[in-house]
A and B are shown apart, each in its own frame.
Chain A
Amino acid sequence: MALDAKLLRADFPVLAASKAIYFDSACTSLKPRAVIEAEASYYNEMGACAGRSHHSLAKKTEEKFESSRERIARFAGAKKEQLVFTKNTTEALNLVVRSLDYSQRRKIITTPLEHHSLLLPIMEQQRRGVAKMEMLGVLPDGTIDESSLSAIDRNTALVAIHHTTNTTGMRAPLEKIVKAAHDAGALVLIDGAQGVPHSRVDFGKLGADFLAFSGHKMCGPTGIGCLLGKKEAFEKLDTFIVGGETIETVSLEKVVWKAAPKRFEAGVQNYAGAIGLAAACDYLSRVGMENIERHEHGMAGKLIEAIKSIPGSTIYGSPDPSRRSALVSFSLKGVQPHQVALMADSLSKIALRSGVFCAQVGMHALGAPKEGAVRASLYLYNTEEEVRTFAEAMQKIAKVG
């Protein structure tokens, strides 16, 4: 059954309250009522700690928290033991990059297209002399140059790469990359922040060692993210943030750490966030990830068509909608990106992102000027009518350039 965006919009209180055309879902998505209520249910009905106390409220919290873990893991094709709760994707990526042992293998392979959340921890490891960073090549249309996969060798500890970029909405050739990495004995870390919310991502089938994603980009709450990892991959990581509930026993002489995922979940967790994210996964599953993916490809086509028809417009990345989620970065000749976004808001209440999207190196690699570009990123609640309004507004704004 096809997705009916107009029908789904009723589930999102913000859309009813503001009448805005929300094209900034790559930054953060809107939240359906079911998620808001689920998150509030923790504060209304439980409000206790999980895994520590033994009273009934604590037990109820533990039960809800762990069942949320199971539902989220299942949504992403993983087992609950494979899911570590984090604050967001950034923390999950930092956890892997900063906790891996680089004494035997020195190299981290990545791409210039990565979000700062992934690129900066790697650069920090290089600056500290812990690891050496190497880049895969990127073609002018934003495609990974597969001939550069030969850089992955026996000295590579980690290949860290996006599932889908936040600058072009294009996917990396993960099957080939995972194979090349595993053939060389390297681990693979995938930044799924822009992939998991928009397509069916199955951690088991993906074959990667780690997959990170955020709740807030997939209709879930802010402040909750996930790191999925294989058991043997988690065992290769040193501790990251340590504290309550990460240990089996502790004395001044020795600490016995718990196994993952608990070893990486120090302190009281974001129970409300986890319950809300599980509700978001349930919501997306009810809509159907295949339906969402199909809807977004259709929207991407219309977005690209609208932008291409504007004289002096530039689209970054491949103009082929079948290779994208509904995310397009572009610029209009003679009008600064920030001005385009501000004018779109003033003219038609269209929420767009402008700048370099926390991917300065990537935008430079794609040929964008230092001011960056404008980004329209759509989701399941956006309609063709909104794209038409967007197109009309862009036509008007382009004329001032």
Chain B
Amino acid sequence: MVLCFIALPVFLVLSIFSAKYRSLARRAMDCVFRTATLRPCDTGLDEELKAAGIAGIMKVSPSAAAFTNRHFEAISMALAILFVLSLVFTAEGLYNYWAYGNCNGKLGGFCPISDVQNGAVLKAPKTLHGISAGNPQANVTVVEFGCFTCPYTKAAEDGVRGMIANYSGRLHYVYEAFPIANHPYSQEAALAAFCANDEGKYWEYREAVFAAQDGLRANGTSVLYGIAGQLNLTRFGACMASGQFEGLLQQNTDECAASNIYGTPTFFVNGKPFVGQTAIFDVEKEVKRLLGE
């Protein structure tokens, strides 16, 4: 019976895509309706789901299947509670987004669907202290606030490079470093990238840093030297030791603070913000729109 409550929304959603789930959704709905009207649920759907589930688990782990069978009621009850809680939190988040412009409401905090954090709206950067590519005179400017050791920034990187290549001459791209505090060695990576830029090898080094992101996060700054094969290592070492770009990095960070950046990557397309790992797709659409494509 409990399973039917979970099954109903799942099968309803699946029914949109495949007709074979519609009869299951109808049976789940019948069961839910019967339960709600204090009648026994006699569709047999819960038994079928239980058997199919245990048989599936059995193929992977017989002991896990035995555990599931013996504690099935408790497990399904726990799943039902989790399901109800997730529905409640989703509803609360949607309400907050509607009422406050942020899924966390008045408290603020990270919200993947919001450009409003901690009550502050994202603001377009003005000074553009970062590394740029493309045509500075272009009508479309894309600014990315990224973090070299952020997996989301790395995930967007292919899209960024593709966009720069596709719209060469018609696009001005600027990357501003935003070393996030809980991402290890992000600040060091940003400084190393500035040092590589000083030798005219920024883009090659940037590619190497993202490629080595996991190792960098795990093993620290030695990785930054290990991937610097295309650079003059003596000069690179001196640059890193001198801290000569710390001021520039601070300017980048200040700009992030001024723009109310709260997560990476954050993009601005002619001042319009886009946040998150998959935002690059929307960024490209916006660029196309602005270029009249």
Contact = CB atoms under 8 A, between A and B. Distances in A.
Interface of A: 334-336, 338-339, 342-343, 345-347, 396-397, 399-401
Given A342-B48, A399-B62, A400-B62, A347 B55 contact: yes
A331 B66 CA distance: 17
Contacts of A397: 58
Contacts of A346: 51-52, 55-56
B51 A342 contact: yes
Given A343-B58, A346-B56, A400 B51 contact: no
B198 interface: no
Contacts of A396: 58, 62
B58 A339 contact: no
A343 to B, nearest CB: 5
Contacts of A345: 51
Nearest to B47: A338
Interface string B50-93: 11101110110010011011100000000000000000000000
Contacts, number: 46
A376 to B, nearest CB: 17
Chain B's interface: helix, strand, loop or mixed, by majority? helix
A347 B51 CA distance: 10
Contacts of B51: 338-339, 342-343, 345-346
Contacts of A334: 69-70
A356 B169 CA distance: 79
B69 A335 contact: yes
A335 B55 CA distance: 12
A399 B62 CA distance: 7
7 contacts: A336-B47, A338-B44, A338-B47, A343-B51, A343-B55, A399-B62, A400-B69
B48 A400 contact: no
A400 B47 CA distance: 15
Contacts of A336: 47
A346 B56 CA distance: 8
A335 B65 CA distance: 12
Nearest to A401: B69
Most buried by A among B48, B55, B69, B70: B55
Nearest to A354: B47
A342 B44 CA distance: 11
B27 to A, nearest CB: 14
Given A335-B69, A338-B47, A400 B58 contact: yes
Nearest to A339: B51
A264 to B, nearest CB: 37
Given A338-B51, A342-B50, 4 more contacts: A345-B51, A347-B55, A396-B62, A400-B68
A300 B229 CA distance: 76
